[in-house]
Amino acid sequence: MTRREVREGVFLLLFQNELSAIEINETAEACVEAFEMELNNEVKGLAEKIVLKYDELDGIIGKYSETREVSRISKINKTILRLAIYEIIYCPNVPDVVAVNEAVELSKKYAEKKDSGFINGILGNVLKDKPDASE
């Protein structure tokens, strides 16, 4: 799987998990069975790591969402933001610009047309406050 395919698989798994509210491993099994999704250990592993950081990631989303409370952000947008912010903070091998661009692309594919600007704005603010790697 390409990195983009992994990212999209993680997004779909996390979104389905958000809808079902069951353990991520059960969600993965259900996705493979119901949707014939290709899920490998990389996809499942990354999704599991992100789920463990939901509270932290939602706190960051809330800090930068000036127009909506986190609870009022659509599940699709929240899932995209969680994935992108996780990559920005915890995946040094993923350039920040790639994480943001891929989040915007996911929003164009899965969310409402206007949502890509909302997602880009939040992620842009996250990047502004991100400590410089050289510090």
- Other CB atoms within a 10 A radius of the CB of residue 22 amount to 12
Q: What percent of the chain has pLDDT over 90?
A: 63
**Would you list the domain boundaries of the chain?**
3-128
- The CA distance from 123 to 100, in Å, is 6
The overall pTM is greater than 0.75? yes
Per-residue model confidence (pLDDT) at position 30? 79
The answer on pLDDT for 135 being more than 50 is no
The answer on pLDDT for 71 being more than 70 is yes
Per-residue model confidence (pLDDT) at position 25? 81
| Residue 68 DSSP label | S
Query: What is 70-107 written as a DSSP string?
Result: GGGS-HHHHHHHHHHHHHHHH-TTS-HHHHHHHHHHHH
Q: Under CATH, domain 3-128 is a member of which superfamily?
A: NusB-like (1.10.940.10)
- The CA distance from 41 to 32, in Å, is 13
Alpha carbon 119 to chain centroid, angstroms = 11
First to last CA, the chain: 34
